[in-house]
A and B are shown apart, each in its own frame.
Chain A
Amino acid sequence: MKFTEEHEWLRPEGDLVVVGITEHAAQQLGDVVFVELPELETQVAKGDEVSVIESVKAASDILAPCDGEIVAVNDALVDSPALVNEDPLGEAWFFKMRIDDMSVLDALMTEDEYKDFIA
């Protein structure tokens, strides 16, 4: 699993990448009450605002971590936004992407590097 400075995690799954937010991000947001997912089969560029999380405190954007196509979204989050607080690294994945160049993952942080980043 790799991590971004925007507090997202990326997990390779075959030729796809699963994307979610980190436990640290979920804690900072507080109780999540609304999730808006990206549209399926859209091409996105790194840094695009593709998804929105609303917590009891505020709205936050989720950015596309790299260039690629959204090929799956986790509809369970729409009905149960609290999953983001309960299991951010597992059940509360946001979307899956087919990315143009898997080697971009190499440049992202490892778990240890991310822990140092948020320390």
Chain B
Amino acid sequence: MADGRDDPSLKRTVLHALHTELGAKMVPFAGYEMPVQFPMGVLREHLHTRAAAGLFDVSHMGQLLLRGNGVAQALESLVPANLQGLAEGRQRYGFFTNDAGGILDDLMIANRGDALFLVVNAANASADLAHLRDGLPGVGIEPLDDRALLALQGPQAEAALAALIPAVADMRFMDARSLDWDGASLWISRSGYTGEDGFEISLPAARAEAFARALLDRPGVAPIGLGARDSLRLEAGLCLHGNDIDAGTTPVEAALTWAIPKSRRASGGFPGDAVILRQLADGPPRRRVGLAPEGRAPMRAGVALFDDAGTQVGHVTSGAFGPSAERPVAMGYVAAEHARPGTRLLGEVRGKRMPVTVSTLPHVPHRYRT
């Protein structure tokens, strides 16, 4: 079985030695050698995160700062979100769109007061950087290559992190604050990619291993790999760029219009605004929906979806067995007339067409600290 060990073309995060010590199975992901699972295994890591707390190394993701007068207004020319209205100490979800209304990448944007702090997908980080430099002349753009990124997720995340940094207990969902730990400046947001309460923590790379060990020493905290990260986010109905959204899907098709506020719908002023505003008014030709296969067989990415008449009406973009849902879960795109929850379709798995029902998302309820 192929794995990424000792492949010199792959980058390593600063926690590589810790992962190896903890018995991680390492695989190539977005140019990095990353832990896909620890000895606990994907299924139990998933359940552990929902029951207690999971620690994820997401240092492969791109982190950068944008500075300068009017930086929020400038970034609004690339991202259809309300960034001028983003208060200091708050974070927001958004996406870079292209001229066709497609999604180049999705990202988190936090207002640090003196700068905007962006977290982008690892696979798109260099393209995003070029896109920002191209689109925002006059804005200071600073990639942060010397910071690690951790996520601590689950119902016991607050207790574990507050034992080290008591002030986090006062934060609510999508708050973003700078807090010190043992002399290091940690940029902490109350957010994540699992549907659970939890935190994402940017910190100096040189302190990341000591901090990760301190968290792993807390009761209930276990290291979690990318395998469980994927099944957790899928149950939570959260998109993976490159699977569920990409340059060929619009935010309207992707059911992400909640991230485009009224103020941006009125006047546009972002790439692809004509396409996106027209789809907002008239409805998109297809929609991203939840999918609940009726049997036990998972319907994975690429499975074709058919209506009763045998016409293909869509396809699965992410699918797996949901350990918390205790059944297969999936999401994908279907033609708008088949997007109503409860609609029965057929998904073709290994040549057999099996029933699957269009469902609402998430598959497992979110438990954010709102």
Contacts and interface: CB of A to CB of B under 8 A. Distances in A.
B213 interface: no
Interface stretch (A13-21, A25-33, A88-96, A101-109): A25-33
B42 A57 contact: yes
B229 interface: no
A33 to B, nearest CB: 4
Contact of A52 (B46, B231, B350): B350
Contacts of A59: 298, 300, 350
Given A34-B297, A54-B321, A78-B296, A28 B350 contact: no
B219 to A, nearest CB: 25
A56 interface: yes
Given A30-B41, A30-B42, A56 B323 contact: yes
B41 A31 contact: yes
Main secondary structure of the interface of A (DSSP, over half): mixed
Interface in A72-113: 78, 81
Q: Is the interface of B mostly helix, strand, loop or mixed?
A: mixed
A56 B321 contact: yes
Given A28-B1, A33-B321, A54 B41 contact: no
B320 interface: yes
Interface string B279-322: 00000000000000000111010000000000000000000110
Contact of A31 (B42, B296, B297, B300): B42
A36 interface: yes
Given A28-B1, A52-B350, A56-B42, A34 B296 contact: yes
Interface in B313-366: 320-321, 323, 328, 350
B43 interface: yes
Contacts of B42: 30-31, 56-57
Interface in A46-82: 52, 54, 56-59, 78, 81
A34 B293 CA distance: 13
Contacts of A30: 37, 41-43, 227
Contacts of A54: 297-298, 321
* Residue among A30, A33, A34, A57 with the highest chain B CB neighbour number at 10 A: A33
Interface residues of B, number: 18
A49 B297 CA distance: 16
A59 B44 CA distance: 19
A30 B36 CA distance: 11
A12 B272 CA distance: 66
A50 to B, nearest CB: 12
Nearest to B327: A33
B321 A34 contact: yes
B326 to A, nearest CB: 10
Contacts of B300: 58-59
A68 to B, nearest CB: 22
A30 B42 CA distance: 8
A74 B37 CA distance: 30
Contacts of B328: 34
A52 B320 CA distance: 15
Interface in B108-152: none
A53 to B, nearest CB: 11
The 10 closest A-B pairs by CB, nearest first: A33-B321, A31-B43, A56-B42, A34-B296, A34-B297, A54-B298, A56-B43, A31-B41, A30-B42, A28-B1
Interface of B: 1, 37, 41-44, 46, 227, 231, 296-298, 300, 320-321, 323, 328, 350
6 contacts: A30-B43, A33-B43, A34-B298, A52-B350, A56-B46, A59-B300
Interface of A: 28, 30-31, 33-34, 36, 52, 54, 56-59, 78, 81
Given A33-B298, A56-B46, 6 more contacts: A28-B1, A30-B42, A31-B41, A33-B296, A54-B297, A56-B43
